[in-house]
Structure 1
Amino acid sequence: MKIRMLPVVITAALSLVLLLGGWFLYRQTALERPVEQILSQYPGVNSAQVNITQNQALLKLDLQSNVDLRGMIAELRKEQGQMFKKRSIVLDIADHSTPDIDALWKEASFSVAEAMASKRYTMIPDTLSKIQSENDEYTISSDMDNHYIYVALSSATDKKANKYIILPLTAAQGTGGQPNA
């Protein structure tokens, strides 16, 4: 019996295309699209792109000022909780910062880092409210859940100027840092 190579190669190529196409279609329709819809409907989200892999969900977001990040992530975990049990959420938020907002964050970052290192998280809102009281034209807020501390800085006069900082409560693996929570 002589095996003809052309039909074998064509069959293998078609099988590979069907398997990879099926996985891509499943990932797009069953995993990524529902998450994108939840994020797009959340108040203050201009756009959302989602890339889900085996270990993580990368959320690329373009946000307006004063979006409740903790609430958004909580709603996402509530709606799609099973998906995020084995995957970490990585937020990539478009930076609409200004030099003044960057200067405010630079002023606050040392105190925030100190509070994170000493696990005295109540120092963070106190530090931020002190800085905000000295700079009335800016809004500075913080929030916390079991995974992250969320810091939002925005301009009261320019509704498009904002900066979001997401600080993990646990040290990143491989950085030599100690777990923080």
Structure 2
Amino acid sequence: MSIRWPVAVTALVVALAVLFGGYTAYQWTQVDRPIEETVAQTPHVTLKKKEVSPDRISIRLETDSDFSLTRDYPSLREQLTTIAGGRLLEIELIDRPDDVLTQAWNEMLFGVKEGLANQQYSNIPEAVKTFTPSGAESQVAMDETHLYVEIKRGDARMYQILPLHKRESGVKDNG
């Protein structure tokens, strides 16, 4: 029994085209398009960059002045996490901090980190409020996994999203 090479090569090419074409169609209909539609339906957010790979999805979003980290972001993240399935989801929000907001964040960070480390979450809003500069407004929110801190001053804004529970590292304390 002899194998005809042209037939075998043609069958291989057709099989590969069907497999990769199917994967590409799945990727577009189940991941790419739903992400774009979800972001387009979210007010005050524009998709700037999207990278999808088999194990992770990276999204870069630009927000306008009416975007609220504490109001709009948690539901958007939840929708995108559902679309991502089991993939690692990385969302980067483009903020525009100025020197005053950066300095304020550096000062309030001690109280925020202390509240997270000691699980005294009720102390965090006071730490943020204490160091919020005059003429600026701040908001703090929390869900099951993250703490959201937003500081706005005129056109400048800063978003900070911190995990509530730090991941365990391979190194343990001796004590």
Alignment TM-score, normalising by the size of structure 2: 0.78
Shift of 1:136: 1.9
How many residues are matched? 173
Q: Are the structure 2 counterparts of residues 99 and 11 from structure 1 closer, same or farther at C-alpha, using a change threshold of 3 Å?
A: farther
Question: For residues 1-181 of structure 1, what are the structure 2 equivalents within 5 Å?
Answer: 1-47=1-47, 49-51=49-51, 56-65=56-65, 67-76=67-76, 83=83, 86-87=86-87, 89-132=89-132, 135-156=133-154, 158=155, 161-174=156-169, 176=171
Out of 67-76 and 32-41, give the one that drifted further.
67-76
| Residues 64 and 162, structure 1, Cα contact 8 Å, conserved in 2 | no
Q: CA RMSD in A?
A: 3.0
Partner-residue secondary structure (3-state), 2:39: helix
**Cα distance in structure 2, aligned partners of 1:71 and 1:84:** 21
Q: Are the structure 2 counterparts of residues 100 and 82 from structure 1 closer, same or farther at C-alpha, using a change threshold of 3 Å?
A: closer
Shift of 1:112: 0.9
Residues 9-49 of structure 1: per-residue CA shift (max 9 Å, x gap): 33223322321222122222222322322222222213354
| Residues 35 and 76, structure 1, Cα contact 8 Å, conserved in 2 | no
Partner-residue secondary structure (3-state), 1:33: helix
Q: What is the aligned-residue identity percentage?
A: 25
Q: Are the structure 2 counterparts of residues 90 and 81 from structure 1 closer, same or farther at C-alpha, using a change threshold of 3 Å?
A: closer
**What are the ranges of 5 or more consecutive residues in structure 1 without an aligned counterpart?**
none
Partner-residue secondary structure (3-state), 1:122: helix
| Residues 55 and 87, structure 1, Cα contact 8 Å, conserved in 2 | yes
Q: Are the structure 2 counterparts of residues 20 and 73 from structure 1 closer, same or farther at C-alpha, using a change threshold of 3 Å?
A: farther
Partner-residue secondary structure (3-state), 2:91: strand
Residues 104-163 of structure 1: per-residue CA shift (max 9 Å, x gap): 21111121111110111111111111112xx2222222111111111112222x2xx222
**What are the ranges of 5 or more consecutive residues in structure 2 without an aligned counterpart?**
none
Shift of 1:101: 1.9
Q: Are the structure 2 counterparts of residues 73 and 8 from structure 1 closer, same or farther at C-alpha, using a change threshold of 3 Å?
A: farther
